[in-house]
Amino acid sequence: MHLSDAQREKLCEMTNLAYLEIRRLAETGRLEQAVDLADVFHNLLNDMWDDQFSLMDFRHDFLIGYHRKYHEPTTRDYVALVDQIIQLGNKDLPAH
């Protein structure tokens, strides 16, 4: 599935938030969580340019597991952020 420019922009913003959270987690000694979050995001910036990339698969294969493991209120809800990005749809492509 081809992502829109708006979706890619939002994924970049979300990745930036994740990097900031990884740094905060590491600074506060939550190294396992920092590593797990890095594992979720480490390929996203490359993968999102592949026509076979699926936001739903990324959500299911990476974000859901992280969210289940780290669901405390201080953790950013990346599942909800991806849901918002999915809702943007692909407005760059003409309707068929």
Cβ–Cβ < 8 Å for 7, 47: no
Cβ–Cβ < 8 Å for 94, 72: no
Residue 70 tokens read as 């780290």
Q: What is the pTM of this model?
A: 0.86
Mind listing the pLDDT tens digit for each residue in 46-83?
999 998 999 999 999 999 999 999 988 777 899 999 99
Cβ–Cβ < 8 Å for 39, 61: no
Q: Alpha-carbon distance 58 to 93, whole Å?
A: 21
Q: What are the structural domain ranges in the chain?
A: 5-88
Q: Alpha-carbon distance 50 to 72, whole Å?
A: 33
Decide if pLDDT at 32 tops 60: yes
Single-letter amino acid code for the residue at 66: Y
